[in-house]
Amino acid sequence: MPKGEKKKVVVIGVGFGGLQAIKKLSKEEDLEIIAIDKKNHHLFQPLLYQVATAVLSPADIAIPTRSLIGDKKNVTVYLGEVEKVDIQAKKVYFQGHSEDYDYLILAAGAKSGYFGNDHWKKYSVGLKSLKDALSIRTKILTSFEQAELAGDPEVAKKHLNYVIIGGGPTGVELAGSIAELSHEIVRNEFHTIDPGLAKITLIEASPRLLAAFAPKLSEFAKIRLEKRGVEVLTGTKVLEIDQNGVKIEGRTIPSSTVIWAAGVQANSIGASLGAPTDRMGRVMVDEFCNVEGHPEVFVIGDIANYSKGLEKPLPGVSPVAMQQGRYVASLIRGDLRSKKRKPFHYLDKGSMATIGRQDAVAQVGNFRLRGFFGWFVWLFIHIFYQVGFKNKISIFITWVWSYITFRAEARLIQDEIESNSNGPSTPN
């Protein structure tokens, strides 16, 4: 490459994968990096459920993008939503602007997917963003207040019914956390109703919870959730979600708070590449995380289907995105030095999910942890991988205080209650 000529790398999405790629590429003086994201913050998604259940505040798990990479001289950050990628012309279009690129890293993530039942969005809320988490938090906290005002035991009962659909880590963590909030934390703060009578139902279509975990860990999670008062329905398909609640075979579960944690759909921008996609909208990539025929275009994280040499695609979890982000950055840096590319290999560092206070499951290969030791490891790992020193300290202090006092202090309903209203409006 001629001296003084810089290659331009456009990175779409500054989540786990995009951030790792940018950090590594920013060390290369011969590169100009353009980062585009429709959010102005990097989000630590694994702890979103704790914002949703009033344990943590949004600022505990999110940090402004510019504070992370804005001071790097060869990185320019734009806030905007990418509308189109012209893979032939090597152009990205966003917010009325366009950028050429020599390399493109698409790390735009995923959103909640309803398996073709998009009308269910109206009556449920997913958990993929801070907006979602705050919406869930408002729904839960408002439901206690509405039940307190109801006057009718049957109406109050509906307000205190919480249904979570999806028995993966997110669903399990939400169910356990809502159970602790209602059955323990706020139980003595209401006098007309007993929040301890709240009913939490976790629905999973497959035969067991936490399908990616060993069967014994799945069974342990189920037993511990049931001890916390959660009704666990496995092998149960949702037939309908409407204003009355959730319909399953044989009955309808009345609920005003339905949380969708059952599936995801890749960000639609992936389709604009014109490359093959799977049924979830993920872009099919080769062993180098490239779109076939385009060695300059990388797709990583939740928006990518990486299945080369594997029985099934890599899961949409943060370790995959982070490793892919570092990998593609290394390939680009290697290209500048005419190094031969080597295929991506994922190092599985294990899986974990917390069930509640002093309870979690974790596995790395054949190594298993559960109960208190699993919970302790879960705490350590989530503090370790949190971005930003301030956030690490803030979360640690909050967790210690919550453990000692058994309280959740982030119980703020941001919207004001209006007269002749059942509660604040909450976006779905």
**Active-site residues: which are they?**
173
DSSP β-bridge partners for residue 204? 234
Is residue 407 within 8 A of residue 185, CB to CB? The reply is yes
Which residue in this structure is represented by tokens 């398909």? 237
**Reading across the β-sheet that carries 103-106, which strands appear in turn?**
75-79, 31-37, 7-12, 103-106, 294-299, 290-291
Is residue 273 within 8 A of residue 106, CB to CB? The reply is yes
Distance CA 267, CA 60 (A): 25
Please, which residues have CB within 8 angstroms of residue 294's CB and are 6 or more apart in sequence? 87, 275
**Which stretch of DSSP H or E encloses residue 203?**
strand 199-204
Name the amino acid, one letter, at 20.
Q
Closest by Cα among 253, 209, 216 to 235:
209
Secondary structure, 3-state, 366-417: CEEEEHHHHHHHHHHHHHHHCCCHHHHHHHHHHHHHHHHHCCCCCCCCCCCC
DSSP alpha helix (H) spans, 238-317: none
3 state SS of 241: strand
**Which stretch of DSSP H or E encloses residue 322?**
helix 318-336
Is residue 16 within 8 A of residue 37, CB to CB? The reply is no
First to last CA, the chain: 50
Is residue 210 within 8 A of residue 218, CB to CB? The reply is yes
Is residue 216 within 8 A of residue 178, CB to CB? The reply is no
